[in-house]
Amino acid sequence: MSVQLSEIQRIREMIVGCEQKVPTLSGEMKNYINFDNAASTPSLKLVLDTINQFMPWYSSIHRGAGFKSQLSTMIYDTTREIVLEYCNADPELHTVVYGKNTTELINKVARRLITREDELVFTTRMEHHSNDLPWRYNHKMEFIEVDEQGLLDLNDLENKLKSYSGRVKLVSLTGASNVTGYLNPIYKVAEIAHHYGAMVLVDAAQLVPHRPLDVKNQNDPQHIDFLVFSGHKIYAPFGQGALIADIEFLNQGMPDQVGGGVIEIVDNDYARWTVPPEKDEAGTPNVVGALALAKALQAFQQISMDFIVEHEKQLTRYALKKMKQIDGLTIYGSDDENDVENRLGVITFNLDSFHHGLVTSILTYEYAIGVRNGCFCAHPYLKRLLKITPEENKAFEERLLQGDRSNIPGAIRMSFGMYNTEEEIDQFVDALQNIKNNRISGVYEQNKMTGEFHPQNFRFNFNGYFTL
């Protein structure tokens, strides 16, 4: 299936700021190329327009007697229905708990999960810190290994589940890596985990904007027990994330945060909690964020996830093929442009003899291309892909503790959204080729305390573009 240019242009016209020009070192204003979509996505115009249409009707929800409060409550409750339907969840058995983002909601599950002294949680070596640290500091935990390419080792998963003989309470894994773009076989993992009596949580922050989702019926051995994602990854950057969870699970125990909205009764010496999902949404909720998130999911249905999948696969094939032609460029994970079925458009790489921070700064200041560098909140995984030895890691940590960030290990990440184009990739690859050949306009200096590079005697005047 070939994606037509007219379809891509239609998508670009739906994105806020897609043709925004930004300043460069030369003084020329250039169209901004955003290849940092794995971090956050721009807003859909439809989402922003919907918010603007709603705002005259906004009021605080639940228990408000006024017309606007009742209308806002109806909208908020409807957003849950939209999220459940999009993920094929059963509203009789599942509910949606809202929070700020994926990180907060995984922490919520980690604090709400009750484990015995002999029980533990599994996560994997490829996780974002948000799906690692909450488990480390709330439960006994063990990692499922990855292979040399960074792919999840299913044999290790099953062997460890066998060895713990029913004592694994939960397997928590990412749906897609934010470093290599690898798609994990979440339904196969769920089937294996359920066979050994464990529940499954999928961190779907990277997955939702790029693939269709189905939590499946609870009688299906491949069902997903917990699904978590963020609005800011799905073209709705308005401070809302969603957790799809079993109502029965949420009924157990007390909420992890208490205060207004989570109770039925409070007396001088006791409190009685309300029912899910309100039980887990302390305080005044982000109605606007929920509206934005739900509207973005509706937009995916209008655009067609089949289109998004095919277009982003084409971009990934094209980028891998072009980037491999640059001498000295190393891609971490698979660089096979003929095998993009089980990965997303996330490509992490380094350029020989160039600090990862220097490359990203040159792309910013000279080409108006936005990418990201560092370890992408996945330090253990990236350091493994970089093949950093324990001795090297110790030396890096010692320098960091002394305030020197000048040589912290890392890489450069480009990540596609549904609106990116092959022409943008051409400009990106040309820029990398120029950098590799030392065709660089500016003279860059590094701040050792921050690790950042900037051109000498030049700073952006941000107040000239937006200020409060």
Percent of the chain with pLDDT over 90: 97
Structure tokens at 346: 């996330």
Reported residue count of the chain is 468
- Put simply, whether the predicted model's pTM sits higher than 0.75 gets the answer yes
**Which residues belong to CATH 3.90.1150.10 in the chain?**
5-43+304-460
Neighbour count for residue 27 (Cβ, 10 Å)? 6
**CATH architecture of the domain covering 5-43+304-460:** Alpha-Beta Complex (3.90)
Mean pLDDT in the chain?
97
- Which of the four pLDDT bands, split at 50, 70 and 90, describes residue 5? confident
- Dihedral over Cα of 313, 221, 378, 376: its sign: positive
Lowest mean pLDDT among 47-51, 260-264, 368-372: 260-264
- Which pLDDT band, with edges at 50, 70 and 90, does 144 fall under? very high
Provide the pLDDT for residue 4: 73
- For 164, 316, 319, the CA distances from 336, given in Å and listed in that order, are 37, 10, 11
Region(s) of the chain under CATH 3.40.640.10: 48-302
Choose among 460, 459, 449, 419: nearest CA to 209: 419
Scanning the structure block, which residue is given the tokens 């093949």?
A: 387
pLDDT at 110 over 70: yes
- Is the pLDDT reported for residue 400 higher than 90? yes
**Per-residue confidence band for 3, with pLDDT thresholds at 50, 70 and 90:** low
For residue 121, pLDDT beyond 50 = yes
Mean pLDDT value of segment 82-97? 98
Residues 199-203 have a mean pLDDT of 99
> How much of the chain, in percent, has pLDDT values that exceed 70?
99
pLDDT, residue 1, reads: 47
Could you say which of 1.10.300.10, 2.40.50.140, 3.30.60.50, 3.40.640.10 is the CATH number of the domain covering 48-302? 3.40.640.10
Confidence of residue 439 (pLDDT cuts 50, 70, 90): very high
pLDDT on residue 2: 57
pLDDT at 62: 84
At residue 224, the pLDDT reads 99
Q: Is the pLDDT of residue 430 over 80?
A: yes
- Which pLDDT belongs to residue 64? 80
At residue 36, does pLDDT exceed 80? yes
